[in-house]
Amino acid sequence: MTNGPIPDVTPTNQLFWDGTALGELRLRSCNPCGHHFRFVSNWCPKCWSTDLSWIKCTGRGRVRAHTVVHIAPYESMSARTPYSIALIELEEGPTMMSNILDCDPATIKNGMAVEVIFEDRGDLRLPQFRPA
């Protein structure tokens, strides 16, 4: 499906979205301490360094927590209900929120292995997950 909200692209997250356009899920990586994290800041949340780079992740992870949405928060999402929202703990360590597609939401379990897929939304490709 191509309907749904579209995130804002900013200078802080531009390289993340450049990666998704190529089918890559990218994380920030701190060069001094090696900590991996999401793109939400320009400094490391562990050591506060601004010496950062980007890494391509495996795109694999596990469901840490999830819920099923039965009433869409946006009209553009109403055709998708029911759908799942999950916290995905990536193999590299960070946790990200995403949808789990290609399965009945009632079958999703905490600890379930998932892998990234990309969904076109406007000019962006959003990372989503499916059972691995």
pLDDT in tens, 64-119: 999 999 998 888 888 889 999 999 999 999 999 999 999 999 999 999 999 999 99
Q: Report the first-to-last Cα separation within the chain, whole angstroms.
A: 20
Selection from 92, 80, 75 nearest residue 35 by Cα:
92
Beta strands 60-69 and 83-90: pairing type? antiparallel
Q: What is the pLDDT of residue 3?
A: 65
Whether 48 has a pLDDT exceeding 80, the answer reads: yes
Q: What is the pLDDT of residue 60?
A: 98
Q: What is the pLDDT of residue 1?
A: 42
Distance of CA 132 to the CA centre of its chain: 15
Furthest-apart CA atoms within the chain: distance in Å: 46
Query: In which residue are the tokens 């379930």 written?
Result: 112
Q: Residue 13, by phi and psi: left (phi above 0), alpha (psi -120 to 50) or beta?
A: alpha
pLDDT band for position 132 (cuts 50, 70, 90)? very high
Which amino acid appears at position 62 of this protein? R
